[in-house]
Amino acid sequence: MRSAAPAGHRAGDDAKESVMPRARMGFVSLALLLALYGRSVAQEASDPAKAKSEAKAKSGTKKAPRRTQRDAPGTYMGRRIADVMSYQGAEWLIRASREEEEQPEAMLDALKIAPGSTVADVGAGVGYTSLRMARRVGPEGLVLATDIQPQMLQMLAGNARTAGVENIRPIRSTITDPKLPEGEVDLILMVDVYHECTHPEATLQGLRKALKPGGRLVLVEFRGEDPEVPIKPEHKMTFAQVRREIEPQGFTFKEKFDFLPWQHIIVFEKPATPPAEATKRAAAKAKAVE
């Protein structure tokens, strides 16, 4: 292993350390610790009561999607949701070995980001990828860099200032709402983030709304199929699992790149025509033929 990972991320680490400082752990009982396992940063970063009321307000009188009702706490479609990586481990995001391990420029080359476009780096952390995206979209373009942890966004803003980059807009999102402008985004990138989302369906619906028709959602995830990738299982995802979770939320699989040493690059598209519209049109066409 070439670099130190934040506790909880690298295979063999204790996942709880990534979200709860040791000193605090001394004060809670084992039962409370187990109950909080995997949720603490998300709760710190975003007031759960507020998140609950936001989700309720959003859904109005509609019932929650059935899928969520069937999932055991802390899991989604049979997968354990990973702990959120704390801002206290942010050094890991800028480790010297990361360029070799994740090849961020080659990853972005594959996406062919157009100058002048509006892109989002969702779960941007300290801006490792946002800064690179900002150079690619150029002065006419914009990077919307979101994160649920304000401390991450503060570090990101500092890094952008130091680099003299002015086309990044930091956005504090919540665990149920990405807080992106509706219908304005050409490409959404999530690098090592999706597996941490505590509310995948609400998040994906927000991302879908933010994309322009035909816009792309890109997940970069550590390969769950590959036991050689030295990352804890819950911080990895298989291609099959990604498709199973993303497509029912109104995205179409477009392409996948597997040239990175450890990660999949999986590209989805928001269909240019909403599925309901497409179905209506197909029905009308079929009737006309009768």
Ligand X SMILES: C[S@@+](CC[C@H](N)C(=O)[O-])C[C@H]1O[C@@H](n2cnc3c(N)ncnc32)[C@H](O)[C@@H]1O
Site membership for ligand X, residue 173 (CB under 6 A)? yes
Site membership for ligand X, residue 125 (CB under 6 A)? yes
**Residues of span 134-163 touching ligand X by CB under 6 A:** 146-149, 152
Site membership for ligand X, residue 40 (CB under 6 A)? no
Name the residue nearer to ligand X (CB basis): 92 or 186.
92
Site membership for ligand X, residue 123 (CB under 6 A)? yes
Cα separation, 151 vs 165, in Å, equals 19
Q: What is the full DSSP assignment across 30-95? A: HHHHHHHTTTHHHHHHS-HHHHHHHHHHHHTTSPPPHHHHHSPTTEETTEEPPPPPPGGGGGGGG-
Name the residue nearer to ligand X (CB basis): 64 or 272.
64
Residues 6+ apart with CB under 8 A from 43: 36
Among 17, 192, 221, 234, indicate the residue that binds ligand X (CB under 6 A): 192
Distance of CA 278 to the CA centre of its chain: 28
Cα separation, 176 vs 162, in Å, equals 31
Name the residue nearer to ligand X (CB basis): 29 or 250.
250
The answer to whether the beta carbons of residues 220 and 265 sit under 8 Å apart is yes
Structure tokens at 155: 């570090």
Cα separation, 250 vs 254, in Å, equals 13
Structure tokens at 64: 């929650």
Site membership for ligand X, residue 204 (CB under 6 A)? no
* Interface characters, 78-117, with ligand X (x: CB under 6 A): ------xx-------x------------------------
Pick the piece of the chain touching ligand X (CB under 6 A) from 155-163, 196-204, 247-255, 259-267: 196-204
Name the residue nearer to ligand X (CB basis): 10 or 67.
10
Name the residue nearer to ligand X (CB basis): 196 or 234.
196
The answer to whether the beta carbons of residues 53 and 60 sit under 8 Å apart is no
Give the nearest distance from C-beta 232 to ligand X in angstroms. 12
Site membership for ligand X, residue 203 (CB under 6 A)? yes
**What does the binding site for ligand X look like in residue numbers (CB under 6 A)?**
84-85, 93, 122-125, 128-129, 146-149, 152, 173, 175, 191-193, 196-197, 203
